[in-house]
C-alpha cells in the first residue's frame, strides 16, 4: 500500500469521474440516502462509501492493509465544528489488535443545503452542490487520515505528506471545510453570539441573560441568587436555549 500511496496520482478529470460515479452508486445502493440532499443517514452509508472509495481509488488496498483490525463507522450528532474525525486505538502494551474509527458530523451536513442556507458551501477547496458531495469530501479527508495511520502509524492534516496525498488522489487544495457550523448559523440568522444580551421565555416567564457559549444551542447565563458563583462576583443560572427562541437585546 505504501508504494501506491507514495506514487499514485489521478488527473482532475479522472477524480471528477470517479467521484461522480461513487455519488451515483451510493444513491443507488443505500437504503437511507435517497437524494443528493438526503434527510437521513446511517453509519452503514459510511461503510458503503469506504468500500466504493477503496475500489475506485486504492485497488482494495485499504481493506487489505486493515487486515484483522476492526474499522468502525459512526455518525456523530454532537460534533459541531469538525466535519469528521478518525481515531486509531492502540492496545495497551502492544498486545491485541489496533482498532480504527471514522466519525462524521451529521449536524454540519444537515445544516448545509438547508432551505435557509445563506451561502455557497465548499470543502477541501471544492464547491459542493449537495449534501452527498459534502459528505464525500469529508470521507476523502478522513480516508487520508486512515491511510496515513495504516502506513505510518500517525497522521496530521497540516503536514506536507497529508496534503500531498489529498491532492494527488482527491484534488484537495485545502484541508478544511467551509460547512456552516451552528455558531455561524446562530450569528447570521439570529444575531446570537458570545456576549450578546438576550431575552427568552420559559413556561410563560421571561428571562434576560448573556450568551456565554454557542454550540447547537446557546448557553445563556441569567442572574440568579440561587445560581452558581462566577468570576465577576455574581451568581447565575445556566439555560440551554435554541437560537430561534432568543431575542437579542440591542444596546442603545
Beta carbon of residue 157, minimum distance to Zn ion (angstroms, whole number) = 3
Beta carbon of residue 76, minimum distance to Zn ion (angstroms, whole number) = 15
Smallest Cα–Cα separation from 181: which of 135, 215, 213, 211? 215
Give the binding range for Zn ion (CB under 5 A) out of 48-56, 131-139, 152-160, 238-246. 152-160
C-alpha cell at position 9: 496520482
Smallest Cα–Cα separation from 84: which of 59, 56, 49? 49
Beta carbon of residue 48, minimum distance to Zn ion (angstroms, whole number) = 22
Within 8 A by CB and 6+ apart from 86, the residues are 100, 101, 102, 103, 142, 145, 146, 149, 155
C-alpha cell at position 192: 446570537
Beta carbon of residue 167, minimum distance to Zn ion (angstroms, whole number) = 14
CA gap 217, 213 in Å, rounded = 8
Give the binding range for Zn ion (CB under 5 A) out of 26-34, 111-119, 128-136, 156-164. 156-164
Residues 98-137: x where in contact with Zn ion by CB under 5 A, - otherwise, as a string: ----------------------------------------
Beta carbon of residue 94, minimum distance to Zn ion (angstroms, whole number) = 26
Which of residues 138 and 221 has its CB atom nearest to Zn ion in the complex?
138
Size (the chain), residues: 252
Which of residues 109 and 157 has its CB atom nearest to Zn ion in the complex?
157
Q: SS3 of 103, please?
A: strand
| Residue from the set 15, 157, 180, 222 that interacts with Zn ion by CB under 5 A | 157
Which of residues 22 and 146 has its CB atom nearest to Zn ion in the complex?
146
CA gap 199, 211 in Å, rounded = 10
Which of residues 112 and 196 has its CB atom nearest to Zn ion in the complex?
112
Which of residues 121 and 157 has its CB atom nearest to Zn ion in the complex?
157
Beta carbon of residue 26, minimum distance to Zn ion (angstroms, whole number) = 22
Cβ–Cβ under 8 Å, residues 245 and 234: no
Half-sphere exposure of 35 (CA within 13 A, CB side): 6
Beta carbon of residue 220, minimum distance to Zn ion (angstroms, whole number) = 32
CA gap 128, 180 in Å, rounded = 12
Which of residues 176 and 191 has its CB atom nearest to Zn ion in the complex?
176
CA gap 220, 235 in Å, rounded = 13
Which of residues 33 and 143 has its CB atom nearest to Zn ion in the complex?
143
Q: Which residue is closest to Zn ion by CB?
A: 157
Smallest Cα–Cα separation from 136: which of 164, 109, 158? 109
Which positions lie near Zn ion, rule CB under 5 A? 157
Amino acid at each position: 500500500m505504501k508504494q501506491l500511496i507514495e506514487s499514485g496520482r489521478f488527473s482532475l478529470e479522472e477524480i471528477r469521474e470517479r467521484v461522480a460515479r461513487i455519488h451515483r452508486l451510493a444513491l443507488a445502493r443505500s437504503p437511507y440516502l435517497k437524494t443528493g440532499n438526503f434527510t437521513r443517514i446511517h453509519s452503514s452509508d459510511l461503510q458503503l462509501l469506504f468500500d466504493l472509495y477503496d475500489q475506485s481509488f486504492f485497488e482494495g488496498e485499504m481493506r487489505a492493509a486493515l487486515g484483522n483490525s476492526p474499522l468502525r463507522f459512526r455518525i456523530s450528532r454532537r460534533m459541531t465544528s469538525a466535519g469528521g474525525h478518525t481515531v486509531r486505538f492502540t492496545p495497551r502494551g502492544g498486545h491485541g489488535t489496533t482498532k480504527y474509527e471514522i466519525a462524521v458530523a451529521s449536524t454540519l451536513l444537515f445544516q448545509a443545503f438547508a432551505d435557509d442556507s445563506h451561502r455557497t458551501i465548499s470543502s477541501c477547496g471544492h464547491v459542493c452542490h449537495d449534501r452527498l458531495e459534502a459528505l464525500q469530501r469529508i470521507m476523502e479527508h478522513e480516508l487520508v487520515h486512515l491511510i496515513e495511520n495504516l502506513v505510518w502509524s500517525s497522521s496530521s492534516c497540516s503536514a506536507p505528506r497529508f496534503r500531498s496525498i489529498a491532492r494527488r488522489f482527491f484534488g484537495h487544495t485545502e484541508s478544511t471545510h467551509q460547512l456552516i457550523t451552528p455558531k455561524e448559523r446562530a450569528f447570521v440568522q439570529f444575531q446570537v453570539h458570545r456576549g450578546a444580551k438576550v431575552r427568552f421565555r420559559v413556561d410563560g416567564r421571561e428571562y434576560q441573560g448573556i450568551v456565554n457559549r454557542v454550540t447547537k444551542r446557546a448557553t445563556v447565563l441569567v442572574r440568579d441568587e440561587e445560581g452558581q458563583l462566577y468570576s465577576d462576583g455574581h451568581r447565575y443560572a445556566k439555560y440551554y436555549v435554541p437560537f430561534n427562541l432568543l431575542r437579542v437585546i440591542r444596546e442603545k
